[in-house]
Amino acid sequence: MKNGSIRPALALVVYGVLLLSLACGTAQNTSQNQGNSKTAATLNSACDEPNIGLKVTKIQDNIIKQIMDDPELKAQYQAGRFGISVAKGSGGDFAEVFIKGEVSGRNEFEDLVGIIDDYMTKGCVFQVYTIRSGPSSIRDPNDFEWSICEYPMVACPTGECKADCGTATNTSMNTNGYPNSNVNVNANSNVNANSNSVNRNR
């Protein structure tokens, strides 16, 4: 009799735990989905801004807000351990991110990279620089550089990914890192064969 009464009770306990776990999981997934939707809306608001001046301001404000939403990053940011600035590219209407200082903790660095990578994946940040010293938004040739260009393409000052920034061959890539079929082979072979250079006055 005891075994017969214990089994239904145990089944009810297991069933109750299962329902509770499903309810908690659903609430957590709902909260996570709402957070993802909010992040996507924030990204779209900044990246779809047509005015480059407003775009860089929105990107910077959004990145800092996301940093402040992360307790570990927030503590280091408020302590002045690192700084973030976003500026218009010198050669075109695209955004560049400048990071100065240092970040401690593997997870914290991954979180910071993840925040910025969202904007690079969206195509509204072209390059990221780490600055060791000097004013923000001032590049140094020795600074570490991270761009959206897929190797072996290189990031050019015009905000394009090319095989070589110094040649006329424009095998470019769009802001999502995928190659365009716009290959401009400059074949202006203007050979000026002016035979009048030989002046035979007899």
DSSP the chain: -HHHHHHHHHHHHHHHHHHHHHHHHHHHHHHHHHHHHHHHHHHHHHHT-S-HHHHHHHHHHHHHHHHHTSHHHHHHHHTTSEEEEEEE-TTSS-EEEEEEE---SHHHHHHHHHHHHHHHHHTS--EEEEESSSSTT---TTSEEEESPPTT-EE-TTS-EES-TTSS----B-TTSPBPS-------------GGGS----
Total number of domains in the chain: 2
Residue 40 lies in a domain: yes
Q: 88 near 56, Cβ under 8 Å?
A: yes
Q: Indicate the average pLDDT of the chain.
A: 73
Question: Do both 91 and 173 map to the same domain?
Answer: no
The residue-averaged pLDDT of 10-18 equals 53
Pairing of strands 95-101, 127-131: parallel
Question: Do both 139 and 172 map to the same domain?
Answer: no
Domain that holds residue 107: 36-147
Question: Do both 113 and 138 map to the same domain?
Answer: yes
How sure is the predictor about 180, in pLDDT bands with cuts at 50, 70 and 90?
very low
| Residue that terminates a domain, selected from 125, 147, 169 | 147
Question: Do both 66 and 141 map to the same domain?
Answer: yes
Cβ count within 10 A of residue 108? 19
Q: 111 near 72, Cβ under 8 Å?
A: yes
* Residue listed under structure tokens 């990071």: 99
- Residue 192, CA atoms < 13 Å, CB-side half-sphere: 2
Question: Do both 137 and 154 map to the same domain?
Answer: no
Check residue 159 and give left, alpha or beta (phi > 0: left; psi -120 to 50: alpha): left
pLDDT in tens, 45-62: 899 999 999 999 999 999
pLDDT in tens, 88-117: 998 889 999 999 888 899 899 899 999 999
How sure is the predictor about 25, in pLDDT bands with cuts at 50, 70 and 90?
low
Cα-based distances in Å from 24 to 11, 13, 53: 20, 17, 44
What pTM was computed for the model? 0.59
